[in-house]
Structure 1
């Protein structure tokens, strides 16, 4: 089959006329879409010419017609004719044998759209509307799976020696396994560095939340270079605080006051909620430990007989609930609750809320990882008021921060 010559002058005239008619530059019917087709085919022909020069003498190789295939690009989808050789030893580089997408722009758009929570059908519609590109579910999965090695590397990256404050919490997602929908747990850790930069330092997959699994995660943090944590903020999962103190003996564990309040609300009669909640708020809004304990005694004297379980919980957890009293107001504000990590979880749920159940664990991890990268980007720069917080940290943890103020 003879090579077809491309009449660029005729193409230029036709393109100029189409532009005058306000036709789009790119896309399904784009003015320049035929040009990239011709450029690709010319490049493939050039590759084959070079290959034949190398193989013709030793292997008596020659041309063997062309094969057609549909390819997708950011300029639209179109058919190209790829030349073949008789010995089937030609391995093109411009468009590889099984390659059907020739633009990394499309890959980036797919991953970006997926990271924003778009479903496969939403992504397919977008690409079809924008570029006239039709991509199957299998191709979308193959493209998004390309970030899995990146995720593994991110999950195992070295961490800093010391973190002033970390928040630890879990999220729950539905996953379809063998036709059965099951609830799975994602463990996440948010930290603030010595420079005041918030960062998710880990996301881990488990069957259900347990202090034993958290212990494994803490051990992994140590293996990734974390030697010290000043304050760890957590909910009141049984055994969780003990696990942290075992793995990091110098760490102060702060139980989340908001979780404690939510737990208390579960046991209140609706008619007592406003009054009892107001009395409990006085406890954690107090300016000192002594005043907080005074308000706890006062609330228990008033409500203890009716709600003993509420005050038994406050008493049992008091040592870890009350750690925040010893610090100045600015530092106290960021450690008395796990709200920072719950805010991150809301960002994740914003992009996962359309998913009734994920098809597998990889689908969850990919979505959460992309949401995490987006969150880390939004958090660029120091936390608000960090200079003041850092000065306060230096008062209480000076030796530990100075000795570990390096990256592992």
Structure 2
């Protein structure tokens, strides 16, 4: 960040030529106290001695995580002007918009490294879900979806293995996402948990044919209760539990038929989703109750 400040002060990059009589003149070591403990930083100097760093001022021995604040505001969608105004309001000094841009650009390499890091060869469980949000583009607001793939590795640790922005789901779209995982070293995924994302089932069959596709039970319950009057919701929800809490697939199918028979007259189409997607609901019954608690929802 101080290098970005120096660039802003001199008006040219470190590798550029300039006719200015002022130029970089090495660095000076300084010990700072921070939330990470003590650390050594190299404060850049200029030939004329006119450089006044603002992130870590002269004679300042303590810092307050300003870089975290800038990155956090940037991640929340604030413009460089808005970030500059916030920094001035909170810390009492002015940051130019070009300085804010330089500071945020310095994390792009870390982001790129994260996006291309190698993966484990096998993931026991991968969850896929989408977060929908509004984006302003050229004065117009439209909806986008961030598709997140969360993997649990063989050590039981969680890891975001894919984060992509898309407008339209399709088998081709999901096949591209899953093939990217294969290209980055993922050889097998044992269980893939997702809601009824358009094209996901066909893509899984193509990219990872041995994977179990498990529909999210919570989404199944929510989508079923959409068709139910409020006064019947509690009783209906309790009946649905007899399906996904059943010990075996056979017992679960019998419970499904029983629930359907009980409510069919009043809610004729409420259970249709369960019958249509039974092949993606039933894999959960292959596992113990302990494992089911891990995979029953995204």
Q: TM-score range by the shorter chain?
A: 0.7 to 0.9
**Structure 1 residue 69, shift from structure 2 partner:** 6.1
Distance in structure 2 (CA, Å) of the matches to 1:106 and 1:238? 42
Aligned to 2:126: 166
Aligned to 1:314: 274
Structure 1 gap segments, 5+ residues each: 1-24, 27-38, 46-65, 78-102, 339-408
Q: Answer whether contact 1:211 1:240 (CA < 8 A) is retained.
A: yes
Q: Does residue 208 of structure 2 align to residue 248 of structure 1? A: yes
Distance in structure 1 (CA, Å) of the matches to 2:66 and 2:196? 45
Encode CA deviations 1:253-300: one digit per residue, 9 max, x unaligned.
000000001111111122322222221122112222222112111111
Aligned to 2:25: none
Q: Does residue 169 of structure 2 align to residue 187 of structure 1? A: no
Q: Answer whether contact 2:243 2:255 (CA < 8 A) is retained.
A: yes
Q: Does residue 197 of structure 2 align to residue 237 of structure 1? A: yes
Distance in structure 2 (CA, Å) of the matches to 1:239 and 1:305? 32
What secondary structure, in the 3-state scheme, does the structure 1 residue paired with 2:270 have? helix
**Structure 1 residue 158, shift from structure 2 partner:** 1.5
Distance in structure 1 (CA, Å) of the matches to 2:190 and 2:196? 18
Compare the two structures and name the one with the higher helix fraction: 1
**Structure 1 residue 247, shift from structure 2 partner:** 0.9
What secondary structure, in the 3-state scheme, does the structure 2 residue paired with 1:165 have? strand
What secondary structure, in the 3-state scheme, does the structure 2 residue paired with 1:196 have? coil
Aligned to 1:74: 56
What secondary structure, in the 3-state scheme, does the structure 1 residue paired with 2:271 have? helix
Compare the two structures and name the one with the higher strand fraction: 2
Distance in structure 2 (CA, Å) of the matches to 1:188 and 1:199? 11
Distance in structure 1 (CA, Å) of the matches to 2:275 and 2:70? 52
Q: Answer whether contact 1:73 1:133 (CA < 8 A) is retained.
A: no
Q: Answer whether contact 1:258 1:337 (CA < 8 A) is retained.
A: yes
**Structure 1 residue 200, shift from structure 2 partner:** 0.5
Aligned to 1:327: 287
Distance 1:269 1:107, change over 3 A: closer
Q: Does residue 228 of structure 2 align to residue 268 of structure 1? A: yes
Distance 1:118 1:206, change over 3 A: closer
Larger RCO: Structure 1 or Structure 2 (Cα < 8 Å, ≥ 6 residues apart)? 1
Aligned to 2:245: 285
Larger of the two Rg values belongs to structure: 1
Distance in structure 2 (CA, Å) of the matches to 1:141 and 1:310? 52
What secondary structure, in the 3-state scheme, does the structure 2 residue paired with 1:310 have? coil
Aligned to 1:199: 159
Aligned to 2:117: 157
5 Å-filtered alignment, 1:57-136, equals 71-75=53-57, 106-111=66-71, 114=74, 117=76, 119=78, 121=82, 124-126=85-87, 128-130=89-91, 132-136=92-96
**Structure 1 residue 322, shift from structure 2 partner:** 1.4
For these two proteins, the number of residue pairs brought into alignment is 254
Moved more, 216-225 or 165-174: 165-174
Encode CA deviations 1:204-259: one digit per residue, 9 max, x unaligned.
12223334311110010111111101000000123312211221010000000000
**Structure 1 residue 150, shift from structure 2 partner:** 2.0
Distance 1:302 1:123, change over 3 A: farther
**Structure 1 residue 122, shift from structure 2 partner:** 6.6
Q: What CA RMSD, in Å, does the superposition of the two structures yield over aligned residues?
A: 3.1
Encode CA deviations 1:84-103: one digit per residue, 9 max, x unaligned.
xxxxxxxxxxxxxxxxxxx9
**Structure 1 residue 331, shift from structure 2 partner:** 1.1
Q: Answer whether contact 1:173 1:184 (CA < 8 A) is retained.
A: yes
Structure 2 gap segments, 5+ residues each: 1-31, 34-42
